[in-house]
Structure 1
Amino acid sequence: MKKWVWVAVIVASLVTGYAVAYALKPAVPNITGYLEGQEILFQHTEVSDPKVAELLSEMVSSPVLVVPALAQAPPSLLANVFVFKNGVRGGGPFKYQPDVFDNPPGSEGYRPLRALALVTWKNEQAARVLKSEREVKAAEQAGEVVIERPGVVVNMPLVTWPGGRR
């Protein structure tokens, strides 16, 4: 009888230990954004700039690593992410609308490394949610927004995208 009690205790300990280890395993938070007019999920894991890393880490309550060498990535290795500095309030890093991505996985231009493009509405009262690169570029062409490229690179793999997921 005592033997079975010990076996039960050992099995319970192993199961509990496994459950605790599973619950405590690190996880990178998913973030909502837009691509081709649809809602997507993505992560930001590393960034070339320490101030941006601090902002993103605070946004998701998870560390975003600083890798200065990312800023040296050639343009052929970069896609774009449009981040809004004003406009419609939302879940973006500056507390405005979610980020907008170009080039989904499976497209010729897909790259997890993203060149940061900061979008500022000239007239914040006229701001609206933009959900695609095409809409962002059209707003720029119409003189509604200004796009600034500070030279920051962020590793932002997509988790879901139109027609796909990891």
Structure 2
Amino acid sequence: MTIQVGDTLPDVELRVMGKEGPEAVSTQALFAGKKVVLFAVPGAFTPNCSETHVPGYVTHADKIKAKGVDSIICTAVNDVFVMDAWGKTQNAEELIMLADGMGDFAKAVGLEKDLTAVQFGVRSQRYAMIINDGKLELLNVDEGGADKSSAETILASL
């Protein structure tokens, strides 16, 4: 079942790239006491994600944070090395590039997508969330494209 507005986000251990290498981080630590914009993409380095989705959040990061957002997180079902390399190519220093390598978070919030027919395996749907102190305030899921989960749409919703 897909997470609903008002629900508490599940606590899942994921990975980020730290100064010494991959580090475990819990979603509870990322969300507790903070206002967070989290957006998910089907895969790092994919065309729409690299050409439109992430660049929008990079461009609008200051405006989003000026609305009281503590963190902007990009997640995908990719490993931490891929997410780190992708963040560097996207100049995404203002974003947390969160690796959901096994799709545990996508599954826990009910937003996984089976793309085995095109050799991608199980990935994440494209979506964006506004999370306030661990509770879901807004969920926009895209059926195609990235309009509902774009930085511009989320900025207008803050």
Greater strand proportion: 2
TM-score (norm 2): 0.27
Select the structure with the greater relative contact order (CA < 8 A; seq sep ≥ 6).
2
Larger Rg: 1
